[in-house]
Amino acid sequence: MFGNWVKTSILMAGIVALFGAVGAMIGGRDGMLMALVFGGAMNVWAYWFSDKMVLKMYNARQIDASSSPYLYNMVRELAQRANLPMPKVYIIDEAQPNAFATGRNPDNAAVAATTGIIRMLSERELRGVMAHELAHVKNRDILISTMSATVAGAISMLAQFGMFFGGRGENRPHPVFAILMMILAPMAAMIIQMAISRTREFGADRGGAEISGDPEALASALAKIEAYAKGIPMQAAEQHPETAQMMIMNPLSGGGLRGLFSTHPATQDRIAKLRAMVGRV
pLDDT in tens, 252-264: 876 544 444 566 8
Q: Please, what is the angle between helix 69-81 and helix 175-212, to 10°?
A: 80
Q: What is the pLDDT of residue 29?
A: 73
DSSP 247: B
Name the pTM for this structure: 0.79
Q: Number of C-alpha atoms within 13 angstroms, CB side, residue 22?
A: 34
Domains and CATH numbers, the chain: 54-146+174-275 (3.30.2010.10)
Residue 91 β-bridge partners: 61, 113
> Burial, 93: exposed, middle or buried (Cβ in 10 Å; 0-12, 13-18, 19+)?
exposed
Q: Which of 94, 125, 133, 242 is labelled catalytic? A: 133
Q: Residues near 170 by Cβ (< 8 Å), separated by ≥ 6?
A: none
Q: What is the pLDDT of residue 260?
A: 47
Instruction: 176-181: list long-range contacts, CB under 8 Å, 24+ apart.
Output: 177/25, 181/22, 181/25, 181/26
Please give the C-alpha separations between residue 92 and each of 6, 18, 55, 65, 278, in angstroms, as whole numbers. 32, 32, 9, 17, 31
Is 133 marked active-site?
Answer: yes
What is the residue-level pLDDT of the chain in tens, covering all 281 positions? 555 566 666 766 776 677 777 677 666 677 677 777 776 777 677 778 889 999 999 999 999 999 999 999 999 999 999 999 999 999 999 999 999 999 989 999 999 999 999 999 999 999 999 999 999 999 888 877 666 666 666 666 666 555 554 544 455 555 555 556 556 666 666 666 565 566 789 999 999 999 999 999 999 999 999 999 888 999 999 888 878 888 999 898 765 444 445 668 889 999 999 999 998 87
Measure the CA angle with vertex 131, ends 225 and 203; round to 5°: 85
Rounded Cα gap, residues 90 and 100, in angstroms: 10
